[in-house]
Amino acid sequence: MNNFQNILEHIARDIELVKDRGTVASYIPELAHVDKNKFGMHLIDAQGNHYGTGDSEEGFSIQSISKVLSLSQAFAIMGDKLWERVDVEPSGDPFNHLSLLELEHGIPRNPLINAGALVIADVLISHLENPKADFLAYVRKMANDENINYDMDVAASESKTGYTNYAAANLLKSYGNIKNDVDDVLDFYFHQCSLKMSCRQLTEVFYIFMNRGKCRRGNAFLNINQVKRVNAIMLTCGFYDEAGEFAFEVGLPGKSGVGGGIVALLPNQFCIATWSPGLNVKGNSKLGMIALEQFTTQTGLSIF
């Protein structure tokens, strides 16, 4: 058996012993039903070999992880003009805070906090003919996987309770940084967040960020410089007010979601995803962070 497979299985066994598994997100009611005991971990290497353990092939709500994918599509369309609408500084704030947005006149700190992702959603709506269908097609093409879908129940659940996102979108609109109808932007955003994928599928989708912008079939989604920038944003902003801690503990660019997923990558070497629905107080998967810290510490593989 390959070393990666042994390491993943060893970490999964250690993780079973951790008593505090965190708290499952419930502010999106549909997410509250998920079994807290789920744990999956999956790795794809640069050659396309797969290694997985636990619930690594079970689908879950990727939530904010989708923000990297919408950013990637908007960046490919707009190039560097995109940065006129959204900044690239870590916020040091929780993902849904609005205070900086007002101070900074409607320019979100970065594309991975909710306000930034709403601006990116607006950009995509302006440029795509059928925004939700075209974005889904883009993500499916990245992974060469037609089985990736939105979870309509999760999208509907968030649209009923996403008051802070309604506030953010309206604030952005008041500053002129949303061009389309606020309800259309939110509808797109709730759908992108509802994307359902397994750890295995996430590693396939994120392969392009490990592989200089090209998917496994050699199609280019971003150029080398653009991938450098997206990975830098993941490293500095991918975990909100815990980005420093993730860089310190794990040492890889990555992104989390309140569904309990985390995806991280080492350029030119591997992409790894974890899923454990219980979150820590910063909204990042508690066991996922522990597992990834163990992985990079045990293998010595990180960008540092």
Told to check if 95 binds ligand DON by CB under 6 A, we report yes
Told to check if 91 binds ligand DON by CB under 6 A, we report no
51: left (phi over 0), alpha (psi -120 to 50) or beta: beta
Binding ligand DON by CB under 6 A: which of 143, 247, 258, 263?
258
From 40, 131, 39, select the one nearest 77 (Cα to Cα): 131
Binding ligand DON by CB under 6 A: which of 53, 165, 211, 274?
165
Residue (96 or 296) nearer to ligand DON, CB:
96
Contact partners, residue 45, CB within 8 Å, separation at least 6: 4, 51, 269, 270
CB of 95 to ligand DON, least distance (A): 4
Can you give the C-alpha Rg of the chain in angstroms? 18
C-alpha span between 241 and 281 (Å, rounded): 10
User: Which range in 137-145, 169-177, 210-218, 254-262 contacts ligand DON by CB under 6 A?
Assistant: 254-262
Binding ligand DON by CB under 6 A: which of 8, 45, 51, 63?
63
Instruction: Please check whether residue 48 is in contact with residue 4, taking contact to mean a CB–CB distance below 8 angstroms.
Output: no
By Cβ distance, which residue is nearest to ligand DON? 64
Told to check if 231 binds ligand DON by CB under 6 A, we report no
For 96, other C-beta atoms within 10 Å of its C-beta total 18
Residue (45 or 158) nearer to ligand DON, CB:
158
From 25, 66, 95, 15, select the one nearest 279 (Cα to Cα): 25
Told to check if 60 binds ligand DON by CB under 6 A, we report no
From 119, 114, 128, select the one nearest 86 (Cα to Cα): 119
Residue (156 or 220) nearer to ligand DON, CB:
156
Token look-up 């369309």 returns 77
User: Which range in 77-85, 210-218, 225-233, 250-258 contacts ligand DON by CB under 6 A?
Assistant: 250-258
Torsion sign (Cα): 264, 265, 266, 270: positive
Residue (80 or 183) nearer to ligand DON, CB:
183
Please report, as ranges, the residues that interact with ligand DON according to CB under 6 A: 63-64, 95-96, 114, 158, 165, 193, 256-258, 283-284
Q: Which residues are annotated as a binding site?
A: 64, 114, 158, 165, 189, 240, 258
